[in-house]
Amino acid sequence: MRNANIKRDTKETQIALNLEIDGSGAYDIKTDCGFLKHMLELFARHGRFDLTIECSGDSYVDYHHTVEDIGICMGQAFKEALGDKKGICRYGSMMLPMDEALVLTSLDISGRAFVNYDVQLPAMKVTDDADETSPMKVGDFDTELVKEFLMAFARELGLTLHVKMFAGENTHHIIEAVFKGFARALAKACAINEDFADEIPSTKGVL
Ligand SMILES: [Mn+2]
């Protein structure tokens, strides 16, 4: 069984997370960050990971700690569940359309953390006559937190991750394409290749 239980308690967040990589896409996500809950549910469903998360935290500040800390726990859970990574496909890519949005996710469970996040979300002007713009929110969710989530995840797992947006106008669609594509690419990379199920897919002999 490739699974992991992660507990993380800080003054900012309290998280209990349960992951089964070879699952059926069953999920139970408890966090007061509604948009992240929506994204994690479709992550579990599209990756066919079983995922339960209970998170309480300082969301009266904003969702920064909640999003980043869940990213940390997710990365730790995948790392622990994959163990020595024997037999995994290691690489995974997905070009994912979501209506008008089109996002490429390409990744390598390399043991080395690297994130290239090339996603240009629509920005809004701070005021009508201002030149200054600020990133969009989806509901009460700061969209800049998507990158924080992915960076925390990649750092803990040791994941090389490229996310590149090719088209998109609607912020909700674009971010949904990121999470669905990430889930499907990660599921491919985690999958066992039966042709070399006893091998670690690296000339170094270690990942
Ligand atoms: Mn949606």
Range 105-110 average pLDDT? 98
Q: What is the CATH number of the domain that holds 161?
A: 3.30.230.40
Q: What is the pLDDT at residue 137?
A: 87
Distance 172 CA to ligand 1 centre (A): 6
Whether 134 is in a domain gets the answer yes
Residue 127 has pLDDT above 70, yes or no: no
The pLDDT tens digits for 24-38 are 999 999 999 999 999
Q: What are phi and psi of 203, to 5 degrees?
A: -70, -15
- What is the model's pLDDT at position 149? 98
Of the pLDDT bands very low, low, confident and very high (cuts 50, 70, 90), residue 104 is very high
Q: Is residue 205 part of a domain?
A: no
pLDDT at 89 over 70: yes
Q: Give residue 131 CA to ligand 1 midpoint distance, Å.
A: 30
Query: How far is CA 158 from its chain centroid?
Result: 13
For residue 136, give both structure tokens: 């969009």
Range of the domain at 93: 3-196
One-letter amino acid for residue 59 of the chain: S
Q: For residues 29 and 41, is the Cβ–Cβ distance under 8 A? A: yes
15 inside domain:
yes
201 part of a folded domain:
no
Report residue 95's pLDDT band, with 50, 70 and 90 as the boundaries. very high
At 123 the pLDDT is 73
Nearest to 184 by CA among 42, 57, 51, 67: 42
Cα(35)–Cα(53) distance, integer angstroms? 14
Rounded to whole angstroms, how far apart are CA atoms 194 and 61? 47
Q: How far is the CA of 100 from the centre of ligand 1 (A)?
A: 13
Spacing, Cα 22 to ligand 1 middle (Å): 25
CA 191 / ligand 1 centre spacing (Å): 26
Ligand 1 geometric centre to CA of 177 (Å): 9
In angstroms, rounded to a whole number, what is the distance separating the alpha carbons of residues 202 and 207? 7
In the reported structure, the alpha carbon of residue 175 is separated from the centroid of ligand 1 by a whole-number distance in angstroms of 9
Residues above pLDDT 90, as percent of the chain = 84
Mean local confidence (pLDDT), 139-163? 96
Q: Can you tell me the distance from the alpha carbon of 150 to that of 71, in angstroms, rounded to the nearest whole number? A: 7
The CA 35 to ligand 1 mean position distance, Å, reads: 9
Expressed in angstroms and rounded, the spacing between residue 39 Cα and the centre of ligand 1 is 8
Give distance in angstroms: CA of 165 to centre of ligand 1. Answer: 17
Number of domains the chain contains = 1
In a domain, 9, yes or no: yes
Q: What is the mean pLDDT of residues 117-136?
A: 76
Residue-averaged pLDDT of the chain: 94
Assess if residue 206 is contained within a domain: no
- What would the mean pLDDT of 1-20 be, rounded to a whole number? 97
Is the residue at 162 inside a domain?
yes
- Asked, for residue 207, whether it belongs to a domain, the answer is no
Average pLDDT estimate for 120-148: 81
